[in-house]
């Protein structure tokens, strides 16, 4: 389970890529790809195994000038969706 202390890391089968046709970030994995919205892309790029969920939330909150609680639920929702698809691993 993902918690504030977890340090999520994009799974080894995943690669983020700039899509020059749309200007969006794509999350690619075997036979599939997700087109990320700008916030999701920011979160995904921070999933390097270095940052805890709490740090990711704080970074986004300061960037968008929003309350951390609102951002936290959005971040958790996105990370859980990635984890369910096996697109995330937790760094130890």
Q: How far is the CB of 62 from other proteins (least distance, A)?
A: 30
Q: Between 35 and 70, whose beta carbon lies closer to other proteins?
A: 35
**Site of interaction with other proteins (CB under 8 A):** 11-13, 15, 17-21, 26, 28-31, 33, 35, 83-86
Expressed in angstroms, the distance from the first to the final Cα of the chain is: 13
Cα 40 to its chain centre, rounded Å, is: 6
What is the rounded CA–CA span in Å between residue 87 and residue 79? 9
Q: Which two tokens stand for residue 90?
A: 């937790």
Q: Between 22 and 69, whose beta carbon lies closer to other proteins?
A: 22
Q: How far is the CB of 39 from other proteins (least distance, A)?
A: 18
Q: How far is the CB of 60 from other proteins (least distance, A)?
A: 24
Q: How far is the CB of 56 from other proteins (least distance, A)?
A: 19
The closest alpha carbon to 47, from 82, 22, 17, belongs to 82
What is the rounded CA–CA span in Å between residue 28 and residue 44? 12
Q: Between 12 and 69, whose beta carbon lies closer to other proteins?
A: 12
């Amino acid at each position: 389970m993902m918690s504030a202390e977890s340090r999520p890391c994009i799974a080894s089968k995943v690669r983020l890529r700039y899509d020059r046709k749309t200007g969006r970030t794509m999350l690619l994995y075997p036979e599939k790809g997700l087109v990320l919205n700008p916030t999701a892309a920011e979160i995904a790029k921070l999933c390097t195994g270095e940052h805890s969920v709490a740090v990711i939330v704080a970074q986004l909150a300061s960037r968008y000038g929003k309350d951390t609680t609102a951002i936290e639920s959005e971040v958790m929702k996105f990370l859980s969706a990635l984890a369910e698809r096996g697109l995330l691993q937790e760094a130890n």
